[in-house]
Structure 1
Amino acid sequence: MSESLKRDYQICEELGKGRFGTVFRCLSSESGESFACKTIVKQQRLLSDPLDRECLEKEAKLMQLVAGNPNIAQIYGVYEDDSALHMVLELCSGPDLYDRVSQRTFSEPEASAVMSSLMEAIAHCHRCGVAHRDIKPDNVLFDEWNRLKLADFGSAECFAEGARSTMRGIVGTPYYVAPEVVSGRDYTEKVDVWSAGVVLYVMLAGMPPFYGESAAEIFEAVLRSNLRFPTRIFHGVSPAAKDLMRKMLCKDVSRRFSAEQVLRHPWITSGGEARSVTDLI
């Protein structure tokens, strides 16, 4: 482990593991404050392959690029040694959104509050030219004051570098991935809006809008994009909330809302209180 990291922080218990690394709690040697340390172990080939090394370092660079928004987990330091890259991050000790939606469905005001903060984070990323590309409840964290923090930029990508405004590559999580990603076409930052729309649906329904018994079946359902609101589940959900979900989960990317448009939708601006279609006019 990096000597400078050991000098600045005391590494404590493991908090969790992801595809790209292990997260530990750590204590600042100077202030005693708790942080999270995400450790990404290098493979041997990373030492000689510039492209793989670029991927390893990208998460830290993109987190620094979008830093400053109160709804994005902050990065405080990057350390490197021969075997790993270590990122010191804001500690989010509350249950994540996955844990919360696993226990119950949300009321419309509760879901609107979460969606407002999440879309503020996504809109900020997009203004910075960064697409998160893996929006899902597991990556929506909360700090000890219950403030939402978007985390895990391991799949993120720049889309405004030079003339390049589109991206390629199948990344993300089956239930939450946009149809244009599954189809293998070029896509834009609006993939994040689609994924956030799935998150909203899950909060209100307790289940995803497109599902299957395997990843292949889920992808087929996503490609069909047959958005339904079963009466037995959505009987109490307002037309305004359904209107927003239709505009976020729109297969036609040119008609799909941007993050900024989601934030201006009456269901969001009213805190989930806009009920009827006439409230949208």
Structure 2
Amino acid sequence: MSEALKRDYQLCEEIGRGRFGTVFRCFSPVAEEFFACKSINKRALSDPVDRECLEKEPKVMSLLAPHPHILQIVGIYEDEASLHMVMELCDSSDLFARINNQGFFHESEAASVMKPLLEAIAHCHRNGVAHRDIKPDNVMFDSRQRLKLADFGSAEWCGEGRGMKGVVGTPYYVAPEVLSGIEYTEKVDVWSAGVILYVMLAGVPPFYGDSAAEIFEAVLRGNLRFPTRIFRTVSPAAKDLLRKMICKDVSRRLSAEQALKI
């Protein structure tokens, strides 16, 4: 453990665990405030791509700061074995847990989530960053219930005509062009946000299957449906927005800025 980290923060209980690291609650005696500390085991990163992600995430988060709806990085500490990122603490349930608990959201509730999420995504895109893993688990809320987009481990530089490659993301939420092996743009984030909106309104994803392969096949087909039984109380305007965000034709898919204006 970094001596500087131990000097500045008191590490408390574990509050999360990922593929390469652990998240702890920590307390700053100077600020008299709790934060989250993401500690990543550098020795577990044998893949060069994983190492690149480790180096990129704090740079991306620092570039995007400050923004009211993007998780802020407070400090970075490094020792021989680990990288420690101290960030804002989001100690309320994330969107994944809220969807699981509620089943579905009323349109006004879904809008209150989608607006700040799209504001965060638009800010990323203006700064040449694609998140590439927009999903409910990465949409968090702080103690004041403010939405915070988190986990930039899969983020990539974009913009100025620069295309991206590589299959990243989560099966239900990944855009079809990511799976096709072609170059893609930051609009993959808009597709993923559209899927989140669909899940909030319907309680089920638009594309599904019994395995990741089946889900990918459904995503690639992109056959967007609005079953009457589920969508009978959803307005035509909301369905139209979904069609424009979850649109296979990338040239016709809305940008995050355009979606905010609807």
Question: Quick check: TM above 0.5?
Answer: yes
Q: Distance in 2 between matches of 1:190 and 1:29?
A: 42
Tell me how far apart the structure 2 counterparts of residues 55 and 254 of structure 1 sit (CA, whole Å).
29
Letter matched to residue 138 of structure 2: N
* d(CA) in 2 for partners of 1:52, 1:18: 13
Residue 22 of structure 1 and its aligned partner are, at CA, apart by 1.2
- Is 1:196 matched with 2:196? no
Question: What is the CA-CA distance between 1:51 and the residue it aligns to?
Answer: 6.4
1:43 matches 2:43: yes
Aligned: 1:222 with 2:219 = yes
> How far apart in 1 are the matches of 2:158 and 2:212?
27
Write the deviation string for residues 20-50 of structure 1: whole angstroms up to 9, x where unpaired. 421110001312210000011112676xx97
Give, in whole Å, the separation in 2 of the partners of 1:95 and 1:53.
29
Q: Which of 55, 76, 79 is the equivalent residue of 1:78? A: 76
| 2:92 corresponds to | 94
Shifted more, 127-136 versus 55-64: the winner is 55-64
Are the structure 2 counterparts of residues 44 and 102 from structure 1 closer, same or farther at C-alpha, using a change threshold of 3 Å?
Answer: closer
Give me the TM-score of the superposition, normalised by structure 2. 0.96
Paired residue for 2:123?
A: 124
- RMSD (Å) for aligned C-alpha atoms: 1.4
Aligned length: 261
Provide the residue aligned with 2:255 in structure 1: 258
Q: Which amino acid aligns with 2:7?
A: R
- Code of the residue aligned with 2:213 in structure 1: it is A
Q: Which residue of 2 aligns with 1:177?
A: 174
Aligned to 1:24: 24
Are the counterparts in 2 of residues 133 and 155 from structure 1 also a CA contact under 8 Å? Answer: yes
CA contact (8 A) 1:182 1:223 kept: yes
Query: Following the alignment from structure 2 to structure 1, what is the Cα–Cα distance between the partners of residues 60 and 2?
Result: 22
* Unaligned residue ranges in structure 1 (runs of 5+): 266-281
Distance 1:208 1:45, change over 3 A: closer
Instruction: Tell me, in whole angstroms, the C-alpha distance in 1 between the residues paired with 2:178 and 2:21.
Output: 24
Residue 103 of structure 1: CA displacement? Answer: 1.4
Distance 1:44 1:220, change over 3 A: closer
Runs of 4+ aligned residues of structure 1 deviating over 6 Å after TM superposition are: none
Provide the C-alpha distance between the structure 2 equivalents of 1:221 and 1:44, rounded to a whole number of angstroms. 34
Are 1:134 and 1:171, in contact at CA under 8 Å, matched by a contact in 2?
yes
Quick check: 1:242 aligned with 2:239? Answer: yes
Task: Map 1:260-279 onto structure 2 (within 5 A).
Answer: 260-265=257-262
2: distance between equivalents of 1:171 and 1:62? 17
Q: Decide whether the 8 Å contact of 2:20 with 2:45 is kept in 1.
A: no
CA deviation after TM superposition for structure 1 residue 139, in Å: 0.3
Q: CA deviation at 1:10?
A: 0.7
